[in-house]
Structure 1
């Protein structure tokens, strides 16, 4: 806004200079009336200054309109980005919750599988141990019977 104030001040100065050159206004002691020579020379200069100031004012209006448009579009874009970021954050939280839920199921499945494996291993080990004990008992009985039979053959009993 300071630039606009500067141009407004420049316009006022231009109008004062033009007014002081016009013959129907009351002159202040500091502003001397222009002579005919000064009026002819000052008039084109003042009109050039006035047209230059008008063009600067038009450019300033154009710049302000462009700045307003850019500001509005920036705010719209920022609001859209903020909304999109909120939506993305919601999706990330949902995804995180889903992953945690899936890991919870996976952990529960792994724990169940591990317990089942332990139970199967214990059961299998127990069955294997029973099978070995059964084989060992049969072998022991077979060996005992064979040794007993061999001893009887070697040392027949006298009756």
Structure 2
């Protein structure tokens, strides 16, 4: 059974029969968190580095790196009893737009902000697969924490 994480969304599970999946990350960034001790998995699909308004932040904190990353990690600790030292955290996505002009550099900014938020919490990602001109789809097993990564080239 799949738990699908949409854009600006997040999910977690401790049901070992489930997988947590997100599709077609381009400039967006996914952060995965897995606790092998508790057999608990969480994933967030970050849309932007930070909210533009307080209303944005309050309505959908999972859309933004500044609010979503702390939300996911706090949830893994409070709901499942995970600790920083037992969490296996990975970062994926943040592709570079294939358009000639890319003044906003959203992919790069998303990756940078996610990494900054993880540093604030005291977590170093085990794996990062970011940048480039590819779209990434992730499927994470709740039973093992294993992540299957599928990639496709981005088109202009």
> TM-score under structure 1 normalisation?
0.16
Which of 1 and 2 has higher RCO (CA within 8 Å, sep 6+)?
A: 2
Q: Which one has the largest radius of gyration?
A: 1
> TM-score under structure 2 normalisation?
0.16
Q: Which has the higher helix share?
A: 1
Q: Which has the higher strand share?
A: 2
